[in-house]
Amino acid sequence: MLLLKNADVYAPEPQGICDLLIGGGEILAIQPHIEEAGLPVQPDVIDADGCPVTPGFIDNHVHIAGGGGEGGFHTRTSELDIQSALRAGVTTLVGVLGTDGIARSMEDLLAKVYALRNAGLSAWCYTGSYHVPIRTLTESLMRDIMLIEPIIGAGEIAVSDHRSSRPSSAELARLVADARVAGMLSGKAGVVNFHLGDEPAGMEPLFELAESLNYAKTVLLPTHCGRNKALYEQAKTWASGGGTVDFTTSSVPQFVKNGEISASRALDEFIREGIDIAFMTWSSDGQGSLPLFDEKGQFSGLTTGTCQSLITELKSALALGIPLETALAPLTVNPARMLKLRRKGNLAPGSDADIVIFDRAMEPETVIADGRVLFSPA
């Protein structure tokens, strides 16, 4: 048993100063005061000293086994180092392949999911990569989702990007329909994660899907929604109509110069414009390549996404005056709902004990995953 004392609990709704009792990997109780003497066994005790305590973050789009490498084989990005996720308060990850669905495989992605689980984190993944028809594990998207436990949807499928396979609307509709039915039959989210590129069509292929499939908004999860102003405007329309939109926190100065809207700024504007922020998620795109191309489409350099960017954007949101409980939603309750991760994303009795204790500078100081302390002050 673990007893976390004097925690300023954000569940993410603020609960005030409380003690949390953890056992068997889950939260057993959250109360203003839990007396050690009254417990059946002597717990380990951590004193949070009045610092903010939040749910562990759900990073819903991470190239856990590496992703991309648009400058040639020597630029292939490396797989995720578990410490870099923990340092960013991430306890749940959804792995994706990416641009390269040939040299990188579903087998490799799934192996990394198992590696993260063995290390104590929670991890799932999507089947497929940028290109349609998608690469799968069992030659069938539906079989992958239904029969392979960690696979909860399909993605990331690229649209409106110079690296996409130019999927037809019929191909996309079939893919979405299959993912949804497989999700229904297996009790999983069955979502389809769409990579949105820079091309002017932006989210048009998704709006088209929503016209023919009345459930589209419940299973489509478009990402990189702040990539440029036009795409961002479409994302606002999508969210206003009840669709979820994902904003990428990893960035480089060139992206900002090209008109990228940061996740924190998008959150601020959604609040100001009265768009329900329940439809916003954030993800890091960690270990994904962030390639730069010149105006002729020639590759000109590449950096790598990081989980740490989630903390950077969280702090930016706080600096904009957004309350902590609101800024936490795109990293906790919102992705948990969209991805049907029922025991994740909030602090309540019965939820998995995925917990971050922040220091006063809002850096994760101690990270608990499934009730185990995996990251703590040196």
| Catalytic sites, residue numbers | 285
Nearest to 316 by CA among 305, 302, 327, 332: 327
Residue ranges of the alpha helices (H) in 120-224? 141-147, 169-186, 204-212, 216-219
Q: Which is nearer to Zn ion, 5 or 195 (CB)?
A: 195
Q: Which is nearer to Zn ion, 180 or 195 (CB)?
A: 195
Q: Which residues, 147 to 176, sit near Zn ion by CB under 5 A? A: none
To Zn ion, the closest distance from the beta carbon of 224 in angstroms equals: 6
To Zn ion, the closest distance from the beta carbon of 62 in angstroms equals: 11
Q: Which is nearer to Zn ion, 22 or 62 (CB)?
A: 62
- The strand pair at 191-196 and 299-304 is best described as unpaired
- The rounded distance, in Å, linking the Cα atoms of 363 and 271 is 24
Q: Which stretch binds Zn ion (CB under 5 A): 46-54, 175-183, 194-202, 317-325?
A: 194-202
Provide the CA 4 distance to its chain's centre, in angstroms. 26
To Zn ion, the closest distance from the beta carbon of 158 in angstroms equals: 7
Provide the CA 173 distance to its chain's centre, in angstroms. 24
To Zn ion, the closest distance from the beta carbon of 153 in angstroms equals: 15
Site size toward Zn ion (CB under 5 A) is 1
Secondary structure percentages of the chain, helix, strand, coil, to 5: 30, 30, 40
- The rounded distance, in Å, linking the Cα atoms of 68 and 293 is 14
Q: Which stretch binds Zn ion (CB under 5 A): 110-118, 193-201, 310-318, 359-367?
A: 193-201
Q: Which stretch binds Zn ion (CB under 5 A): 48-56, 83-91, 100-108, 189-197?
A: 189-197
Q: Which is nearer to Zn ion, 198 or 208 (CB)?
A: 198
Q: Which is nearer to Zn ion, 181 or 292 (CB)?
A: 292
Q: Is 5 in the site for Zn ion (CB under 5 A)?
A: no
Q: Which is nearer to Zn ion, 4 or 235 (CB)?
A: 235
Q: Is 195 in the site for Zn ion (CB under 5 A)?
A: yes
Number of CB atoms found within 10 A of residue 363's CB = 14
Cα dihedral sign for 154, 160, 166, 169?
positive
- The strand pair at 355-358 and 52-55 is best described as antiparallel
- The rounded distance, in Å, linking the Cα atoms of 133 and 141 is 10
- The rounded distance, in Å, linking the Cα atoms of 288 and 63 is 5
Q: Which is nearer to Zn ion, 183 or 291 (CB)?
A: 291
To Zn ion, the closest distance from the beta carbon of 170 in angstroms equals: 23
Phi, psi at 30, each rounded to 5°: -130, 115
To Zn ion, the closest distance from the beta carbon of 230 in angstroms equals: 17
- The rounded distance, in Å, linking the Cα atoms of 156 and 167 is 13
Cβ partners under 8 Å of residue 272, min gap 6: none
To Zn ion, the closest distance from the beta carbon of 80 in angstroms equals: 15
Residue number with the shortest CB distance to Zn ion? 195
Q: Is 63 in the site for Zn ion (CB under 5 A)?
A: no
Q: Which stretch binds Zn ion (CB under 5 A): 182-190, 192-200, 272-280, 300-308?
A: 192-200
Q: Which stretch binds Zn ion (CB under 5 A): 37-45, 48-56, 191-199, 266-274?
A: 191-199
Measured CA distances, 275 to 18, 24, 242 (Å): 32, 39, 10
Binding site for Zn ion (CB under 5 A): 195
